Amino acid sequence: MNYIAPGIPADENERLAELAALNVLDTTAEEDFDSLARLAAFICGTPISLVSLVDAKRQWFKARVGLDAAETPRDISFCTHAIADPDQLFIVTDASKDKRFRENPLVTGDPNIRFYAGMPLKTGEGSAVGTLCVIDRVPRDLSVMQREALVTLSNAVVAQLNLRRRLSRHEQYYAMLARVSARIARTTDIEGLCSEACHAGVELGGLRMAWIGRLDIPSGNVQPVAWATSKGRLAESMVCSIAIDPFERALASEAIASRHPRVCNDLATVSHASPGGVWHQHGLLASAILPLAVDDVLWGTMSLYAGRKNFFDPFYLDRANELAADISFGIDRLQKTRDIHYLSFYDTVTGLPNQAGFEDKFGTLAPQIHCGCLLVVGMEQLDHVAAAYGAGAIDSVLKQVAQRLQAHAPHRAIAALVRRRLFALFVPDEDPANFSRFATQHLAAALSAPYSIDDVQVGCAIHLGASFFPDDGKTIGALLTAAERAVQSARSLQQTFRFYNKKIDETTTVQLRLEGELRKAISRREFVNYYQPKIDLATGRIVGAEALMRWLHPERGLVSPAEFIPVLESSGLILEAGRQALGRAIIDYCTWRDAGLGTPRIAVNVTALQLRDQNFITDIQHELAAGKCDPVALSIELTESSLMTAEQQVRGVLQALREIGILVAIDDFGTGYSSLSYLVTLPIDELKIDRAFIMRMTTEPAYMGLVNTIISLAHNLNLKVVAEGIENNEQANLLRLLRCDQAQGYLYSKPVPADDFAAMLARNII
Ligand code: C2E
Ligand code: MG
Ligand code: MG
């Protein structure tokens, strides 16, 4: 096609931004524009008149007279030629003779343009967004009067467009303000509010970018809190780089110092001051910085950027100031709400929840738990501290108590300062015995360590009291009252810790006392092994021994395991006590062996906790090596329940024992809920039928049937069967008939001290 396409104006980007800001493209026809177009056609005597707006790729007609098309491609439009000089009327008297147009399809075809006169529409300061033009299908010209009329009418179109822009700006800005106000009403966080304001500024306020920063008063720096850009995501790093730009900082300082907006409507003129040219890179041509003051105290700034020079006119700044005032109001409201919430739920000195906060947190936790312990800390001598070091010293001590309490608080526990000097700690799903241990062994020690007041170390006695949820109360109020009573009784009895509930208190006290004694007993090696023989039912000879622990109490004499094994287990002391029992069994075995007594294997009872101990196997190997003892010396007895837990890990330990050559027996078989078919998947060698079955088998046929089944099933699985608690010959005879392998019980011998057992072995006459 042989026509000359119009050039692109140098400031095309700004021109298009201006056109977009008018918000007029693709809108419906409006009488204000149509009447001006009609007037132009009437005065100039042309069949066609257009208000044409030149978009990036097309010209679009806001008003048209005598033409059907709503738009044409930009590269064939006459108007694009016309706007090349925004201040001049552009006239083509005969397009068919003009080399720029004679091949133009608008000339060669419909609407067969010959004459064109277009006056550019300059709405902003620079280039034109389009034209008011008149067109004829015959060559001709305009009179001077007609030309003047066309210029006047084009000014009227420009005025109309500007009015439109102002109206649309009003609409948009009020929508922007409304959006921020709506957010203020429902937002709960300052960051959310700031982010909404930035997005509203970009999406409705025609900005290219906006960010809000918080002022750090000592350094004068402004730290970005929220931001938004019209171009997708904006990296925090970019906002930060703009925030520290020297020009930006200078402008922000001026805004902060004067407490008035500061505007730079042409950032290109200061680009030399900022070699990085951050604004330039992001197409930011004008900026305004608004100070945000909350309760008359400067809070931060809002920085606005536009992609157009001279964007921030007085109208815009008025709206922006309203926006800033709204944001400041919102921040103020949120800060006050937060302060009120904080003051009502937290203690300001320690930062711990106060009673209301404690109740609030407990209320959330309570439905999720079964039980729990509430502890109250009674701080004695705080008045002495105040008298000696001043009231401020109390705050310092309270802060330290709070820190220690939090440092020792178990997972999910809630620490609180429920009254001025009363600390509380709620530990969910904790059983009283464990809690007593925690309170007396860890917390009491931590809280009674000296407190620093300035450079002085001050001791402060404490008493602890606890109540148990839900037994002692279902609300914090009731639990606190009970725990405070417990503190009082601890105080009057001069004890460190007490439970409110008498029964719990007694059992935990007894248990704790026993625990302390057991600890001492372990270190003093007060435990001994008694031995009970295992008899081969076919031959009547001793073929094994079970080591049974006894406590030789210095005052109480021999204490039975039923009394202390559960406490050893719950306190974890069984690890050391069990190690000692194994060690003694090995030593006794070696003694008997060395005395030539034809010593049988010694079975040692082992608990689940010991099996889970990582050193269990190596400890046994170590003891065996120390006594130069063969693994044939040992077997271990495990209860069914200990085999049900930690299955994978237990399997590994049992396997390792088998590899060493130590046999494994299942003790008290029949009391648990495991099935034989499950147990035989484990590497075990022996089954010990519980005494309860043996006791009832001679009187109840069902039990005899059960024992019979257990024995034959076990034999099918290659397990040796031992019957426990044989007390009479009838039981022994029956078991012999049922082909039980071994028997153990008072019929043969009660558990006896090592020396007596050696004598028994020497006689081997049973
Ligand atoms: P267990 O391992 O089932 O031991 C058998 C218990 O039955 C022993 O009680 C034994 O004295 C008792 N007994 C044996 N024959 C008869 C009988 O004919 N009639 C009656 N009424 N009782 C009989 P003991 O010595 O009081 O031990 C009780 C439990 O304490 C043991 O039950 C075992 O589970 C645990 N235990 C004992 N020593 C240790 C140890 O060193 N470590 C661990 N972890 N537990 C041990
Ligand atoms: Mg046993
Ligand atoms: Mg048993």
pLDDT tens digits for range 58-68: 999 999 999 99
Q: Is the pLDDT of residue 751 over 90?
A: yes
Portion of the chain with pLDDT greater than 90, in percent: 52
Residues with CB under 6 A from ligand 1: 532, 548-549, 560-562, 565, 578, 581, 605-607, 637, 667-668, 724-727, 744-746, 751
Mean pLDDT across 12-20: 86
**If you average pLDDT over residues 312-316, what whole number do you get?**
84
- Phi, psi (rounded to 5 degrees) for 303: -110, 125
pLDDT value at residue 232: 65
Q: Which ligand number lies closest to the CA of residue 690?
A: 3
Catalytic residue selected from 196, 623, 724, 727? 724
Out of 95-104, 323-332, 548-557, least confident range: 323-332
Whether 451 has a pLDDT exceeding 80, the answer reads yes
Residue range 697-701: mean pLDDT, rounded = 88
Q: Specify the DSSP class assigned to residue 107.
A: H
DSSP state of 130: E
Helix (H) or strand (E) holding 480: helix 476-492
pLDDT for the residue 667: 92
For ligand 1, pick from 528, 573, 586, 605 the residue to mutate: most ligand atoms within 8 Å of CB. Answer: 605
Sign (positive or negative) of CA dihedral 392, 397, 398, 400: positive
Judge whether 240 and 278 are in contact, CB under 8 Å: no
Give the pLDDT band of residue 234 (cuts 50, 70, 90).
low
Q: Is the per-residue pLDDT at 673 higher than 70?
A: no
Diameter of the chain measured on Cα atoms = 148
The rounded distance, in Å, linking the Cα atoms of 580 and 653 is: 19
Q: List the residue whose alpha carbon is closest to atom 30 of ligand 1.
A: 561
Cα 556 to ligand 2 centre (Å): 24
Buried b (16+ CB within 10 A) or exposed e, 263-287: bbbebeebeeebeeebbeebbbbbb
List, in order, residues 6 or more apart from 216 with CB less than 8 Å away. Answer: 222, 223
Mean pLDDT score, 696-724? 89
At 491, the pLDDT band (50, 70, 90 cuts) reads: confident
pLDDT for position 274: 52
With 70 as the cut, is the pLDDT of residue 275 above it?
no
Q: What is the pLDDT of residues 331-356, one digit of tens each?
A: 888 888 888 888 889 998 899 999 99
Query: Residue 376 pLDDT > 80, yes or no?
Result: yes
Locate the ligand 1 atom nearest the alpha carbon of residue 548 and give its number: 38
Ligand 3 centre to CA of 567 (Å) is 18
Residue 71: the pLDDT is 95
Other beta carbons within 10 angstroms of residue 404's beta carbon come to: 19
135 CB neighbour count, 10 Å cutoff: 26
572-600 pLDDT, tens digit per residue, is 899 999 999 999 999 999 999 999 998 99
Confidence of residue 757 (pLDDT cuts 50, 70, 90): very high
Q: What is the pLDDT of residues 111-129, one digit of tens each?
A: 999 999 999 999 877 779 9
Has 724 been annotated as catalytic? Answer: yes
| Best-predicted range by mean pLDDT (260-269, 577-586, 663-672, 679-688) | 577-586
Residue 22 contacts residue 129 (beta carbons within 8 Å): yes
Q: How many angstroms separate the alpha carbon of residue 330 from the centre of ligand 3?
A: 73
For the chain, the average pLDDT equals 88
pLDDT top residue among 644 and 449: 449
Q: What is the pLDDT of residues 177-206, one digit of tens each?
A: 888 888 777 777 888 899 988 988 888 888
CA of 690 to the centre of ligand 3 (A): 6
Cα separation, 200 vs 212, whole angstroms: 12
Please state the φ and ψ torsions of residue 545, each to the nearest 5 degrees.
Answer: -145, 145
Q: How far apart are the C-alpha atoms of 692 and 638, rounded to whole Å?
A: 17
Task: Give nearest CA residue, ligand 1 atom 21.
Answer: 725
Nearest ligand, measured from the Cα of 532:
1
Q: Which residue has the higher pLDDT, 668 or 10?
A: 668
**Alpha-carbon distances, residue 135 vs 82, 107, 685 (angstroms):** 13, 11, 111
Smallest Cα–Cα separation from 226: which of 260, 256, 199, 257? 199
Q: Which atom of ligand 1 is nearest to the CA of 581?
A: 41
CA–CA gap between residue 380 and residue 488 (Å, rounded): 11
The encoded tokens of residue 505 equal 């208190």
Torsion angle, alpha carbons of 117, 121, 127, 130, to 10 = -70
Q: Please give the pLDDT value at position 3.
A: 62
pLDDT score at 2: 56
Q: Which atom of ligand 1 is nearest to the CA of 744?
A: 15
Q: Give the pLDDT score at 766.
A: 46
Q: Quick one: which ligand is closest to 671's CA?
A: 3
Q: For the ranges 79-88, 247-256, 598-607, which has the lowest average pLDDT?
A: 247-256
